Amino acid sequence: MDLDSILQQAKPIVQQAARYIQQMALKKDTLAVEEKFKNNLVSEVDREAEIILVDGLSELIDNAGFLTEEQTVEQTKQEWLWVIDPLDGTTNFLRGVPAYAVSVALMQHDTVVLGLIFDCVQNHLYTAIKGEGAFKNNIPIRVNENTVFEQSFIATGFPYYDFSKAQAYLKVFEYIMYNTLGMRRLGSAALDLCHVATGMYDAYFEYSLHPYDVAAGALLVQEAGGNVTDFAGQDGYIYNQQIIAGNQAIHTKILELIRMHFEV
């Protein structure tokens, strides 16, 4: 499989979905919105953007399967699997918070081999192919080299429906609050991972996530020289609903904190 060719063909498809989202942002107050479950919103824009992506990407690889957030296509697992979040940060989009993105990954036998994330507000395209580095607008990116935890800048996501681990999370949050430069909650896992890959953040952690939230961004961090694991320090971050991503030193410290307070 020529992944470089697949990436080049996938770029305009992702950009088409992003342009549609950008156009609909001007009409967000008129959109039909549903609550899939507690505090998890979906709009007609999510579904239409997913259809654009599925229609385009289905032409690139014969018999590829799809794992998509809105399930507008049959969810089938094949050797090659497109993993799609058509609008990561739906609540941000609907409330006018300028942080939402299109996220697309390609997996082969449960290994992410290609990723694209388009920041719909900043118009930045992040791309990665396994073994070939990570890029922002075709310019190589790297995680930062900070090794001092007290000088680190951490991203996270707050629990919004699964509060079963809230107390453990708050203990980790408290330690980071007192011992770093600060913490941010952007509301888009895909963009948080992009910002780790560029060195803006030293690390990012969150739980209650899905494969389409993290697949593309995790590859970006890895290809930018960072480390990505689940809360047990293993490689189950795609399906285990938990992730720690960062440069080597700060990832190690976050992992220690997680192990101290979470049951993993």
Task: Identify the H or E element spanning 153.
Answer: strand 153-156
CA angle 246, 248, 253 (to 5 degrees): 80
Total domain count for the chain? Answer: 2
Residues of the chain with pLDDT under 50: 38-39
Do 178 and 103 share a structural domain?
no
- Which of 140, 160, 184 is at the close of a domain? 140
Task: Please state, in angstroms and rounded to a whole number, the distance separating the CA atoms of residues 129 and 114.
Answer: 4
Contact yes or no for 248/240 (Cβ under 8 A):
no
Contact yes or no for 130/218 (Cβ under 8 A):
no
Q: What is the pLDDT of residue 246?
A: 98
> What are the b/e assignments for 71-95, b being 16+ CB within 10 Å?
ebbeeeeeebbbbbbbbbbbbbbbe
Do 129 and 7 share a structural domain?
yes
Strand partners of residue 237: none
Task: Please state, in angstroms and rounded to a whole number, the distance separating the CA atoms of residues 190 and 173.
Answer: 20
Paired tokens of 195: 């910002």
Q: What is the pLDDT of residue 31?
A: 73
> Model confidence over 51-104: pLDDT tens digits?
999 999 999 999 999 999 988 888 888 899 999 999 999 999 999 999 999 999
Q: What is the pLDDT of residue 264?
A: 64
- Which of 140, 168, 199 is at the close of a domain? 140
176 φ, ψ (degrees, to nearest 5): -65, -40
Domain that holds residue 220: 149-261
Do 128 and 14 share a structural domain?
yes
How far are the Cα atoms of 124, 152, 181 from residue 176, in angstroms, in the given order? 29, 9, 9
Q: Which of 8, 194, 205 is nearest to 118 (CA)?
A: 194
Quick check: helix, strand or coil at residue 195?
helix
Task: Please state, in angstroms and rounded to a whole number, the distance separating the CA atoms of residues 46 and 41.
Answer: 10
